[in-house]
A and B are shown apart, each in its own frame.
Chain A
Amino acid sequence: MQAYDLSQTHIVTPAEEIALSTNQLQVYYGNSKHASMSDASLSFPRFQITALIGASGSGKSTYLRSLNRLNDRIARIKGEIIYRHTNINDSKVNVYEVRKHIGMVFQKPNPFAKSISENITFALKAQGITNRQELKQRVETSLKEAALWDEVKDDLNKSALALSGGQQQRLCIARAIAMKPDILLLDEPASALDPISTTKLEVTLKELAKNYTIIIVTHNMQQASRISTYTAFFHLGHVLEYDRTERIFQTPMIQATHDYVTGNFG
C-alpha cells in the first residue's frame, strides 16, 4: 500500500447544530501501546446521516463502538466524547444511560433468541415500562419505522431467528429505535443483505434521519454518497478527511481520500 502522509488532514466542523462530537479520541486495545484510533476529532450534525468510510482495518468500527462506550471492556479510550455538553467518556458517567440515548446496530444481525415482539419489549420492560398497551404500541411504532411491520404483523409471537437476514437486521433497527434514542450508530448494517433488502434499508434510514442523528459505517461508496450529508475518511487509525459528502466524493482535499473514492487505492 502506498504510504500517505498521515499528518496532512482536512477536517471541517459542520455549521449545523451538533449532536455528538469527539475530541482527540484515542483507542488502545487490551494492553497495546499502539493506538488503533488516534486523535479523532469529529462533530456530527443533528438529524443528518454521517458516513464513515475507509479500508478494512482503518479503525471505523473501533471509533464507532467507542462512541457508546461499547469498547469499555476491551480497550482504553482517551480523549473526550461530548454529548449534551457532557463528556461521556468519563468513568463517573452512567454508561447504561449513555447507551439508551446512543443506540447501535451491528454488522451481523443479532436478534435475541426470543419472539419478535419480545425482542423489542425486553429492554423496555427492563426500563420499567410494564403497561401492556404501551408496550404493544411501541412494538408497532418501531416496527413501522423500521419498515418491517407489514411483513411480520401477524407473526409477532414467532421466533425472531426464523426471520430472513434482512428482516432480522430491520428488527434490530426497530429494537434500537424502540428505546427512543437520540443517536443511532450503524456498523455496516447492509453488509449481510441482498440488494433489495439494502435498498429498503436505505429508504428506511433516510426516513429515520428526520428524527434521529445517524452515524453509519459503510464499505459501499455509492451507499455513502446516496444517503449521507457528511462523510469521514479513515486511514490506518487516523481520520484524514471530513467534509460534506459531495465534496469528499467530488473534490477531496487529501490524496488518500482521492485515491480511495476513485478506486486507485492500495
Chain B
Amino acid sequence: MDDIQKKLMSPSKASREDITGRIISYTCIAAIIILVISILYFITSRGVATFTTNHVNLWQFLSGEEWNPGTLNDHGQPQVGALPMIVTSFSVTILAALLATPFAIAVALFMTDIAPKNGAKFLQPVIELLVGIPSVVYGFIGLTVVVPAIRHIFGGTGSGILAGTIVLFVMVLPTITSLAVDALRAVPAYFRSASLALGATRFQTIYKVLLRAAMPRLLTAVIFGMARAFGEALAVQMVIGNAVLMPHNLVTPTATLTSQLTTNIGNTIMGTLPNNALWSLALILLLMSLVFNLIIRYIGKRGEIKS
C-alpha cells in the first residue's frame, strides 16, 4: 500500500521518457526558429550595408534608373538605381498573374462543377505533375521555344518581359489552379443545390454564389502564384535578357531582381558596394515575400469572419 503511494509521488520511467521526448522535439523547433531569425538577420544586415556603410540614399536606390555600382556618376555618387529591376519584377509578376487567373479559375470550375468526374480524373494528375516540374525546365523551354517565337514575331532578341511573363504564366498556372480547386471544393454542396433549386442557371450559380463564397481563398491562390512568380530566379533569368535597362516595352532585354542577383553575386567581392547593392536586392525580395505573406494572412482572417 505504501509502496504504491510512493510510486504515485515519484517520477518513473515514463516521466523520464517524456522529458527526453520534449527535449528532442523542442530542440528541433528551436533550430527552425533560430534558422528563420538568422536568415532574416543576415540578409537584412547585408542588405542595409549599402545605405549604412556606403551611404547610398534609400530613395535614390529605389527610384534611380542607372545601375552601374562599380562607377560613380557626375555628382561623385555610385550609380545604384534599382528601379528598372523593381519595375520588371513587378511587371512580370502582375502580368503573369493576370494572365493565369482566368485560365486557372476556368480549369478549376471545369474540374469541380462542369465535368467533376472525367475532368478531374484527367486534369488532377497532370496538374500535380506540372507543379512538380523544375523551374529550370520551364526556363529551358522558354529559351528554346518562347524566345525564338517572340524574336520571329517582334524582331530583336526575343528576351524581355513578354518572354518572362509567358514562362511565369505557365509556371504559376498549375499552382493557382490546384489551390483554386481546393477553394471551390471547400464551398459546401448545399450552396450549389440551394441556388440551383431557386431556379438559377449554372452560370448564375457559379458567378453569384460559388465564386463569391470562394473569393477569399481564390484571392489567396492568386497571391500564392504571385509570390512564386516574384521569387522565381532561374527560369526568368534564362529568358529576360539580363540587361539592367528600364523596360520601355515588353520585348527588349531587361532584368528582374532575381535575375540580377543570380547573374552577378558570384562576380562581386564581399563587402564592396557592388556586392552590398546586390544584397539590398535580396532584401527587397525578402521583404516582398513577407508582404505576400501578410496579405495572405489578412485575406485569410477576413474570409474567416465572413463565413
Contacts and interface: CB of A to CB of B under 8 A. Distances in A.
Nearest to A87: B8
B98 to A, nearest CB: 45
B267 interface: no
A128 B12 CA distance: 11
B10 interface: yes
B189 interface: no
Contact of B4 (A92, A96, A101): A101
Contacts of B7: 94, 97
B13 interface: yes
B9 A94 contact: yes
Nearest to B14: A96
A88 interface: yes
Contacts of A83: 8
B15 interface: yes
Give the contact-size bracket for chain A: 10 to 19
A93 interface: yes
Interface residues of B, number: 12
A84 B1 contact: yes
Contacts of A98: 8
Interface string A78-102: 0000011110100011101110010
B13 A94 contact: no
A80 to B, nearest CB: 14
Contact of A86 (B5, B11, B13, B14): B5
Contact of B8 (A86, A126, A127, A128): A86
A101 B8 CA distance: 10
B9 A96 contact: no
Contacts of B8: 83-84, 86, 88, 93-94, 97-98, 101
A97 B14 CA distance: 9
A84 B7 CA distance: 11
A98 B9 CA distance: 10
A186 B15 CA distance: 25
B195 to A, nearest CB: 35
Contact of B13 (A88, A93, A101, A128): A128
B248 to A, nearest CB: 60
A172 to B, nearest CB: 20
A255 B1 CA distance: 41
A39 B128 CA distance: 56
A215 B11 CA distance: 27
Nearest to B17: A126
Contacts of A94: 7-12, 14-15
A86 B1 contact: no
Interface in A91-145: 92-94, 96-98, 101, 126-128
Contacts of A84: 1, 4-5, 8
A239 to B, nearest CB: 25
B9 A86 contact: yes
A103 to B, nearest CB: 15
A96 B11 CA distance: 9
Contacts of B13: 126-128
Contacts of A93: 8-9
A96 B5 contact: no
Given A101-B8, A126-B14, A127-B13, 17 more contacts: A83-B8, A84-B5, A84-B8, A88-B8, A92-B9, A94-B8, A94-B9, A94-B11, A94-B12, A94-B14, A96-B12, A96-B14, A96-B15, A97-B12, A97-B14, A101-B4, A128-B13
18 contacts: A85-B5, A86-B8, A86-B9, A92-B9, A93-B9, A94-B9, A94-B10, A94-B11, A94-B12, A94-B15, A96-B12, A97-B8, A97-B14, A101-B4, A126-B13, A126-B14, A127-B13, A128-B13
The 5 A-B pairs with the shortest beta carbon distances in the complex, nearest first, are A96-B14, A97-B7, A97-B8, A84-B5, A86-B8
